[in-house]
Amino acid sequence: MLEVLTERLNGVFSKLGRRGRLGEADVDAALREVRMALLEADVNFRVARDFVAAVRERAVGREVIESITPAQQVIKILNDHLVELLGSETSRIATAPRPPTIVLLVGLQGSGKTTTAAKLALSFKRDGGRPLLVAADTQRPAAIEQLKTLGKQIDVPVHVGDTKHSPIQISTRGRELGIDNAHSHVVVDTAGRIQLDEPLMDEIGQISRAIDPTETLFVADATTGQEAVNAAKEFHAQSPLNGLILTKMDGDARGGAALSIRSVTGVPIKFIATGEQIEPLEVFHPDRIASRILGMGDVVTLVERAEETIDQERALELEEKIRKASFGLDDFLEQLNQVKKMGPLSQVFGMLPGMSSMTKNTDVQAALDGDGLRHFEAIILSMTPNERRNPDQITGSRRRRIAAGSGRSVQDVNQLLNQFKQARKMMQMMSSGKMPTGLRNMMGL
């Protein structure tokens, strides 16, 4: 996500940092590169032009020219304007005065509405709600079956109407069931078209008038770039929207839709979705996304994921083991599996400041998300319980036996043991207070 832009901007920052004091010509040269980076990332050209103009107005002022660290000041200004461009504040789903809160999902065919409906319902469920899914996409029978399957997967009920019922009737009945059965949210999945047309808009208008949704959210495929932006703009002009959900964000290395859509439509991005797996949608935080774009990571989101997935009681037990130097390879493997629950490891490491560029390396990605961890597990499970508890006692002959048992090389076994020792040393430093509290908390220690 947004890799192209991040890479180009980091190159600009590196050049600025080598110049020391900055003159107006230096700022202009850097901003020309920023503008090119935005355009290459498929950002709307008017948005790119206005963004650079706004940054320049501040960057050539006294605040930068007279600063002791002018390059850092320019980066701060870029960050401030990126946050503003992305929407300044996190926009949440509105809650109906009386439940249920009704969310109407609209968009073009192929944008991922049905999968997004399930992800949104799961998000509500994780927050303690009782959502209901409504399959109102009668244009595509497979969409109804898909939503039923996803509903079973996340244990959320799905209302499916009779084949004779229209989308308006199905949606209306879904609303009634939401009220009668005390559901907190009703998520209505509607039909899409290849392009916006009169029948589509007429149908959406009728559904909207029938169910009076609390929120109407446009689901846009981020990989289509400016097409997604234009479609959202047209739809909003014909049928007002409350928010946007950008899907397939991990499939778009450029990120132009994310940077343009808020400015062009005037509608806030509320969620982003990545991957095909059914997991809760990621709330769109403008400041965090800006931080990722500028290569500064996203530690806040990482901490939140850690709090959701890491067993705090077990983490305290492991900390006690580290303090007593009894942290073994079984514990190491358990920690790796805990972190894996937070998402692909390359994505998790990419949220750490300064690590995003490293995870772009295909070899590193393969080691983090591919066979690397499976090989680690095979090696550890080929050891005796005593060897896993006391890895320092593993001699050369034992390493050869473990390598043969796991189907790996002795070099792989040595690599694992060396990495374990480094990890144990770092964890001991963290648990003893020699690392910042925030970082210790992030690691669950």
Please give the helix or strand (H or E) that residue 158 lies within, else none.
strand 158-160
Between 30-39, 148-157, 433-442, the lowest mean confidence (pLDDT) is in 433-442
Whole-angstrom distance, CA of residue 309 vs CA of residue 23 = 48
Whole-angstrom CA distances from 206 to 100, 107, 143, 363, 385 are 20, 15, 20, 52, 66
Tokens, residue 15: 């050049």
Whole-angstrom distance, CA of residue 126 vs CA of residue 116 = 15
**162: Cβ contacts below 8 Å, ≥ 6 apart:** none
Give me the sign of the Cα torsion angle 192, 197, 202, 204. Answer: positive
CATH fourth-level superfamily of 299-442:
Signal recognition particle, SRP54 subunit, M-domain (1.10.260.30)
Whole-angstrom distance, CA of residue 336 vs CA of residue 373 = 8
CATH fourth-level superfamily of 101-289:
P-loop containing nucleotide triphosphate hydrolases (3.40.50.300)
Identify the pLDDT of residue 251: 64
Q: How confident is the model at residue 117 (pLDDT cuts 50, 70, 90)?
A: very high
Please give the helix or strand (H or E) that residue 263 lies within, else none.
helix 256-265
Identify the pLDDT of residue 439: 44
**123: Cβ contacts below 8 Å, ≥ 6 apart:** 271, 280, 281
Strands across the sheet containing 282-283: 158-160, 131-136, 185-190, 101-107, 215-221, 243-247, 269-272, 282-283
Between 120-124, 202-206, 208-212, the lowest mean confidence (pLDDT) is in 202-206
Spatial CA neighbour of 7 closest among 360, 398, 411, 428? 360
174 near 188, Cβ under 8 Å? yes
Say yes or no to pLDDT of 159 above 50. yes
Say whether 225 sits in a helix, a strand or coil.
Answer: coil
Say whether 9 sits in a helix, a strand or coil.
Answer: helix
Q: Are strands 215-221 and 243-247 parallel, antiparallel or unpaired?
A: parallel
Q: Do 3-86 and 101-289 share a fold?
A: no
Say whether 221 sits in a helix, a strand or coil.
Answer: strand
What is the overall mean pLDDT for the chain?
79
- Mind giving me the DSSP string for 58-97? HHTSHHHHT-SSHHHHHHHHHHHHHHHHHTSSPPPPP--S
Between 136-140, 155-159, 271-275, the lowest mean confidence (pLDDT) is in 271-275
Identify the pLDDT of residue 65: 53
Q: How confident is the model at residue 433 (pLDDT cuts 50, 70, 90)?
A: low
Say yes or no to pLDDT of 89 above 70. yes
pLDDT digits (tens, 9 = 90+) for 299-345: 555 555 566 666 666 666 766 766 666 678 887 777 777 766 666 66
CA 185 to chain centre: 23
Identify the pLDDT of residue 431: 56
Identify the pLDDT of residue 289: 80
% residues pLDDT > 70 (the chain)? 74
Q: How confident is the model at residue 393 (pLDDT cuts 50, 70, 90)?
A: confident
Spatial CA neighbour of 170 closest among 149, 139, 142, 195? 139
Would you list the domain boundaries of the chain?
A: 3-86, 101-289, 299-442
Average pLDDT over residues 188-206: 83
Whole-angstrom distance, CA of residue 176 vs CA of residue 181 = 8
Spatial CA neighbour of 113 closest among 139, 138, 161, 147? 147
Residue 421: φ, ψ to 5°: -65, -40
Work out the angle at residue 259's Cα, subtended by the Cα atoms of residues 288 and 442, and round it to the nearest 5 degrees. Answer: 15
**pTM of structure:** 0.68
Pick the CATH number of 3-86 from 1.10.287.1120, 3.20.20.80, 3.40.50.2000, 1.20.120.140: 1.20.120.140
Q: Which residue has the higher pLDDT, 232 or 366?
A: 232
Average pLDDT over residues 392-421: 89
